[in-house]
Amino acid sequence: MTRWTNWAGTATAVPQRVHKPRSTPELAEVVANAAVEGRKIRPWGSGHSFTPICVAESDAVDLTNWTGIASADVSTGLVTVRSGTTIKVLNAELDHLGLGLINLGDIDAQTVAGAISTGTHGTGARLGGLATQVAALEIVLADGSVTHCSADHRPDLFAAARVGLGALGVISTVTLQCEKAFCLSAQERPEPLEQVLESFDELAASNDHYEFYWFPYGSNALVKQNNRLPAGAECQPLSKARQFLDYEIMENVAFGSFCRIGRAMPRLVQPLGRIASSSLSSRDYSDVSHRVFVTHRAVKFVESEFAVPRESLHDVLAELRALVPTLENPVMFPVEVRVAAADDIWLSTANGRDSAYIAIHQYVGMPYREYFAGFASIVGQVGGRPHWGKMHDLDASTLRERYPHFDDFLQVRKEVDPAGVFTNAYLDQVLGPVS
């Protein structure tokens, strides 16, 4: 048997069978056989979800042999990619075609299917998450049949499956609406937190991509503003030496050392946090879009993230800032704040409302439950919706109140997987048992 563990070590599984299909027909046969024999099946991506969403107790589908671009139309920007392809590989292959994704998060280790299925997003007040860039899906359903869905064909399945949690079938291919490759200018600088909060709404609206990181116990935040350069503009990236110093040495080696010291001696976390906040540096450069969006993360952590209505952000942050000093155990990692536009995807965290995302983290091995529970209570007062791949304790009864199309999703689930072939304990928690 193969033991599986996710990236953060927060979920493990020892499935009875691991299947590694190399084609859609192979994938369909795997699913059909499992259904006929009454076995449950879960697809594996790269294990970058912090929740046990991928845990397979019976059968697992490992998609690492089902990768690459299947077809591309450079004139329209429509690219069909196999579901096991990581975003990192996809970015490289799109580069060769002179194309790029409209928006990305800052981690590229996820598979395309895993990223859209859990609601992965970047930042941008006028832009949605990765799933909003999906034009069509090919899905293997519980009976082994292969179906396509889009806004024009099976629109209800499309509205559900773009952020489908792997609960509706195994995605075989994803067709993405890409665009011509573009350069982003990047401005990163430390600013006093109070100043950042005061100007947040204005700067989130006036920049293509805006976010900030706040280090608890520090007075500064790291602000990131990314904006598109005109077509044909020449990128001016950081030198290799500066990239290595800033991203590998400072953000990974040095910060990782701070974290290990803080875990060993918690009384030092607050002064270390103040040092980290005060040592933030400024950077101005431009590069191909995905090289600006994505940052290498070598220091492991656990994470909880909620989407809240944009208008509630300041109140939520005020309560979070009041919570941190009261915690029994100190916080080693920064808080990340991003934004996204409303969308129409049923289980998207931004469904029907412009959203602000607040992500809290803790270094692996350090206590986090009191912190995460307090945060969940704060965001719960404004109808916060948890990222499906990040840690939370909410169940179906609570989530139904926060998603207007929750029951629509369950109806589609009942139609395409009436026997619950694709369920597991996490899906039973957040969606309820298949009935």
Is it the case that residue 396 has pLDDT exceeding 80? yes
Q: How far is CA 88 from the centre of its chain?
A: 14
Query: How many Cβ atoms from other residues are within 10 Å of residue 204's Cβ?
Result: 24
**Predicted confidence band at 266 (pLDDT cuts at 50, 70, 90)?**
very high
Quick one: average pLDDT of 143-169?
98
Q: Taking a C-beta distance cutoff of 8 angstroms, is the pair 204, 210 a contact?
A: yes
pLDDT at 329 > cutoff 70: yes
**pLDDT interval class at 280 (50, 70, 90):** confident
pLDDT tens digits, one per residue of 361-389: 999 999 999 999 999 999 999 999 999 99
d(CA 134, CA 263): 41
Q: How confident is the model at residue 364, as a pLDDT?
A: 95
How many percent of the chain have pLDDT more than 70? Answer: 100
pLDDT for residue 97: 98
pTM of the model: 0.96
pLDDT reading at 34 higher than 70: yes
Query: Averaged over 218-238, what is the pLDDT?
Result: 93
Instruction: Output the six-digit token pair for 265.
Output: 């001696």
What local confidence, expressed as pLDDT, does residue 272 receive?
87
Mean pLDDT of 328-342: 97
pLDDT of 1 above 70: no
Region class of 68: left (phi > 0), else alpha (psi between -120 and 50), else beta: left
- pLDDT surpasses 80 at 305: yes
Which pLDDT belongs to residue 99?
Answer: 98
Q: Which residue has the higher pLDDT, 299 or 2?
A: 299
Largest CA distance in the chain: 60
The per-residue pLDDT for range 55-113, each reduced to its tens digit, is 998 999 999 999 999 999 999 999 999 999 999 999 999 999 999 999 999 999 999 99
Confidence (pLDDT) at 407: 98
Residues in the chain: 435
Tell me what pLDDT residue 245 has. Answer: 84
| Mean pLDDT value across residues 392-402 | 98
Q: What letters, b where the CB count within 10 A reaches 16 and e where it falls short, cover 54-92?
A: bbbebbbbbbeebbebbebeeeebbbbbbbbbbbebbbe
Given a cut of 90, whether residue 289 has pLDDT beyond it is: yes
Structure tokens at 114: 């895993």
Task: With a cut of 70, say whether residue 424 has pLDDT above it.
Answer: yes
Q: pLDDT at position 315, please? A: 98
Q: Higher model confidence: residue 394 or residue 239?
A: 394
